Amino acid sequence: MTGRGRLGATLLLGLALAGCAGQGPYRHGKDATERFVADPALCPELKGPSSFRIPVAYVEIDEQGVLQDRSQVEQALALVGDGARPKYVVVFVHGWFHNADPDDLNVRRFKCALNNLQGIADNAGEDVVGVYVGWRGKSWSIPLVEYATFWDRKNTSDEVGRGSLVEFLMRLEGAVKPDRNTLNKLMVVGHSFGASVVFNSIGQTLLARFVLDAERLAHARPAPVHAQSKPGLVSGYGDLVVLVNPAIEATRIVPFFATLNEYTRKQTDLLSPAQPARLVILSSKGDWATRATFPAARFFSTLLESYQDSRMTTPYGQDIPMRERYLDWQTMGNARTLQTHQPLRRTAPAPWDGKCPPARPDWLRQAIDERKAEQRRKGEPETGAGWSTVFDGTGVTVAHQGITTPSNPLWILGVDTELIPSHSGIGNPVVICLFNELLGDPKVINPEGQKQEERLRRSR
């Protein structure tokens, strides 16, 4: 190599080292947990100083999926078990360009979201606890150059999800939801490649539970089949898993969609109107990364793969084209043929006051009943499919498409840009409040399921 070549190589190496983002961990010892007071300067929805001191734990995973500091796990588990009031535990897994640095924007906005939720939880006698899962979503810090890390970080998210995080999430669920009668709540939110981390960690657990519970309901067997089973309901992980702008190919959600479709096609009334959503997939119409960049990159990376087309019949007789090539290029939330609900939009004209309204525990049953009454007036089959509702306070409208049964636990839908403007614009407090609406209330029982179990016990 000439002297000029060696100089160029040295400069490139220097730039690479200079632009390489830290590998962590960012939290050491007791710094892996903290109690914070939300800062109005960082949380514009706050009208003044917050009165809440909210605990949050940080769990960091390295690029090979190994826990960076196992003591972080023990501290997080101790935090969710601390105190006498029911816990409302929210896990957030960040995506591309982020990490667990105290100054990271996702860390700051996560704290704002927890503060918004504590305003509701406090009235219900609950304590919100945050768990922030950090990984090396940001590997380069040089502007523009960092965009070249898209596929590298996607592969890393797969590794992170398949590693020790599985252990932590299983132990966390066991601590927060020790049995089906607990009043504790557990919600997991993954964004972008963080959604990939979540899906790789607990996707198979979700699918297995969907199958076990659907099988139980189809054959009128009593709960529990596993610790999270409830009478007459399909369970998931915790109470709710939300994937926001997931950078995951749609082919990976097809088994979930197809499994639930198969059970409900054979028995359209299999799922109770009290059945809450268990897995919600949201994709913004303004997300260029998953709507444009992802399909373009998948086009080139799948050139040598073979595909076949088929059709799937829904419970109400529609035929859905299942074009594998299309589904392998699109992300989960952007595959239009699989979208179960119309795009989320905010229709209420009144300004929002910045506070999450109390959740209506029986809103889905009411929406289904209203839809059935409408169908009855029109002389149509009373399926409840195609229901819609507007959530008070936030003004968000949710409308069912009618290709799944009305209370199917899998939701896939787009989101208008007013609610999630872009790939990274996920901090809208209105959307955080919507997650709370979808979470459900562990105190609400499912009378149909309880009656079914009672009949089974008497018959034995």
Query: Is the pLDDT score of 74 beyond 90?
Result: yes
Q: By three-state DSSP, how is residue 243 classified?
A: strand
Pairing type for strands 54-60 and 33-36 reads antiparallel
Identify the burial level of 166 via C-beta atoms within 10 angstroms of its C-beta, where 0-12 means exposed, 13-18 middle and 19 or more buried: middle
Q: What pLDDT shows up at residue 383?
A: 96
Band of residue 452 on the pLDDT scale cut at 50, 70, 90:
low
Which runs of consecutive H residues, i.e. helices, occur in 70-180? 70-80, 105-123, 150-162, 165-176
| Least confident stretch, 2-6, 17-21, 205-209, 295-299 | 17-21
Max mean pLDDT range (29-43, 89-103, 252-266, 424-438): 252-266
Q: Please compute the mean of the pLDDT values over residues 385-399 and round it to a whole number.
A: 91
Give the closest residue to 411 by CA, choosing from 231, 251, 235, 253: 253
Does residue 168 carry a pLDDT above 70? yes
Least confidently predicted of 335-344, 348-357, 391-400: 348-357
397 pLDDT above the threshold of 90: yes
Mean pLDDT, the chain, integer: 87
**% of the chain beyond a pLDDT of 70:** 86
User: What per-residue confidence (pLDDT) applies to 146?
Assistant: 56
The answer, yes or no, to whether residue 143 has pLDDT greater than 60, is no
User: Residue-wise over 334-352: b if at least 16 C-beta within 10 A, else e?
Assistant: bbebbbbbbbbbbeeeeeb
**Would the pTM of this model clear 0.85, i.e. be above it?**
yes
Span 29-46, average pLDDT:
89
Tell which phi-psi region holds residue 393, choosing left (phi > 0), alpha (psi between -120 and 50) or beta: left
pLDDT of 286 over the 70 cut: yes
Q: Each residue of 85-136: pLDDT tens digit?
A: 999 999 999 987 778 899 989 999 999 999 989 988 887 899 999 999 998 8
Q: Name the more confident of 218 and 156.
A: 218
Helix 70-80 × helix 165-176 angle, to 10°: 20
Report whether pLDDT(6) > 70.
Answer: no
Please report the pLDDT score of residue 123 as a whole number: 78
Check residue 359 and give its pLDDT. Answer: 83
pLDDT bin (cut points 50, 70, 90) of residue 303 is confident
Vertex 167 angle, CA 423 and 440, to 5°: 60
Worst-scoring range by mean pLDDT, 179-188, 237-246, 378-387? 179-188
| Angle at the Cα of 432 from the Cα atoms of 431 and 433, rounded to 5 degrees | 90
DSSP string, 423-456: SS----HHHHHHHHHHH--TT---HHHHHHHHHH
Note the pLDDT tens digit of each residue in 196-237. Answer: 999 999 999 999 999 999 999 999 888 778 888 888 899 999
Specify the pLDDT at position 21.
55
The stretch 135-144 carries a mean pLDDT of 63
Residue 319 belongs to what H/E stretch? strand 319-323
The residue to which tokens 């896990």 are assigned: 91
CB 188 within 8 A of CB 420: no
- The CA-atom distances, in angstroms, between 360 and each of 113, 274, 390 are 20, 12, 11
Provide the residue type at 269 as one letter: D
The most confident of 11-15, 21-25, 166-170, by mean pLDDT: 166-170
Mean pLDDT calculated for residue range 414-431: 89
Reported as a pLDDT band with limits 50, 70 and 90, residue 269 is very high
Are 410 and 341 spatial neighbours (Cβ–Cβ below 8 Å)? no
Give the model's pLDDT for residue 75. 96
Predicted confidence at residue 458, as pLDDT, reads 61
Q: What is the C-alpha to C-alpha distance for residues 194 and 110, in angstroms, rounded to an integer?
A: 14
pLDDT value of position 16: 44
Q: Taking 90 as the threshold, does the pLDDT of residue 380 lie above it?
A: yes
Cβ-contact 410, 260 below 8 angstroms: yes
- pLDDT for residue 107: 93
First to last CA, the chain: 84
Provide the angle, in degrees to the nearest 10, between the axes of the packed helices 429-439 and 105-123. 50
CA separation for the pair 31, 101 (Å, rounded): 12
| Residue 41 pLDDT > 60 | yes
In the predicted model, is pLDDT for residue 287 greater than 80? yes
* Least confident residue range of 127-131, 189-193, 356-360: 356-360
User: Of 113, 136, 122, which Cα lies nearest the Cα of 187?
Assistant: 113
**CA–CA distance from 39 to each of 36, 44, 107, 156, 396 (Å)?**
9, 9, 13, 33, 26
